Amino acid sequence: MSVTHPDVTTEAAVRACQRQLPASVDGGDVVFGFDGMIDAVQEMVDTRHGPESYTPIRTLDSLADRFRDSADENSSLAVEWVRNGTRTGGHTSHLARFFGGIGYDPAMIGTFGRPIRDVFAEEFGAYEMASLGEPGETHAVEFDDGKCMFIEPGSYLRFDWETVVETIPLDELAAHVDGTELLGIGYWTVMPRLPSVLSGLREDLWPRLSDPPERILFDPGDIRQLTAEQVERGIGPLEGLAAVADFTLSANRVETLALADRLTTAEPDRSFAEAAAVVYDNLDVTRFVGHNVDFSLALSEAGTARVDVPKVPDPALTTSAGDHFNAGFALGLLYGLDDGAALTLGNAVANRFVRTGSPPSFEEITATVNEYDDLLSD
């Protein structure tokens, strides 16, 4: 299976998305778990000019230079940062926010505080929420060429299936999941014991469901934080859950390369596309989806698809762009779009989010899909 010469190219995928995307969204029930975070979006200060005026550090390289200079001089380093906003974050919050905004009814199972903290209650109080514990806190520092995230873990760090069902009884958990169209799960890297949760879902929860979700979206997060042994132990539980639903594993370029290296012998010169093929060939899942700033790709029994990503020269926000790609791709699956069209939809949702800093409405998504060719040529 070749992603260098894909079965579906950008032009065909965009045309398919424009044809297949419905005129409106009917909504439905979806459920997401099992994390919960509070994100502070920040900038680091290069030069302070006054109480309200400063020049930010623009690039990760510039920040790295400061660390190198400090290490070379054997001296301490102090860097000021400025908070530009606080919001709820993580897989569960980002996807619930998006789907709720376009007319779906999301249920949320995660770490929102016990009792649920005001920042979650104020935003998501209209949705079904079940809290497993305390949220993590992330300081997401944005640069022109990337971002750096400093994370204080929440209760999810210690969770396994036993602690999940001790906190939320199995019957209550089943009530949140039964009858939903999609289950989204993230992230393995913040929940090292997540494989036990995957096994519990398959072995204990699924038999209790009369109408289980037909689709599962799994975002492992930054695989670089997991060892090859941890990944190996997680394959069985992951594939077990993949056996009961249409299962999509989604990862960005860096995560895809790391996952390929942990599944097989590491190859430093392996390309993103080659790594995606390695992951798909070594895991028994319905499809593997990879996303990057240049292109996104999908591999499944239907073949391979690769879709170019429009550039955003002046992004409003890049943190959680990957979550919004996942949201758009999952929406495509819910409406029966083929893989290439769903990739286009994921790219469009992420593009609109990065340009504006807010989850797009369905009308904005449709407009972005319709102007996709123009965005590529800009």
First to last CA, the chain: 32
Angle between helices 339-356 and 321-334 (to 10 degrees): 140
Residue 91's nearest CA partner among 320, 250, 356 is 320
What's the total number of domains in the chain?
1
Give me the chain's average pLDDT, please: 95
Residue 48 lies in a domain: no
Euclidean distance between CA atoms 323 and 251, whole angstroms = 10
DSSP 224: G
* Domain membership of residue 352 as a residue range: 10-43+87-377
Residue 335 lies in a domain: yes
pLDDT (tens digit per residue) in 160-216: 999 999 999 999 999 999 999 999 999 999 999 999 999 999 999 999 999 999 999
* CATH number, domain with residue 175: 3.40.1190.20
pTM: 0.90
Residue 77 lies in a domain: no
Please say whether the beta carbons of 138 and 40 come within 8 A: yes
Residue 14 lies in a domain: yes
Residue 78 lies in a domain: no
For the chain, the 3-state helix, strand and coil shares in percent, each to the nearest 5, are 45, 25, 30
For residue 1, pLDDT beyond 60: no
47: region left, alpha or beta (phi > 0 left; psi from -120 to 50 alpha): beta
pLDDT (tens digit per residue) in 274-317: 999 999 999 999 999 999 999 999 999 999 999 999 999 999 98
* Helices of type H across the chain: 10-20, 60-72, 91-101, 118-124, 161-167, 170-177, 194-200, 228-242, 253-263, 272-282, 321-334, 339-356, 362-370, 372-377
Residue 106 lies in a domain: yes
Residue 39 lies in a domain: yes
Q: In the numeric block, which tokens belong to residue 267?
A: 């190859």
Residue 50 lies in a domain: no
pLDDT (tens digit per residue) in 326-364: 999 999 999 999 999 999 999 999 999 999 999 999 999
Euclidean distance between CA atoms 114 and 86, whole angstroms = 20
**SS3 at position 256:** helix
**SS3 at position 210:** coil
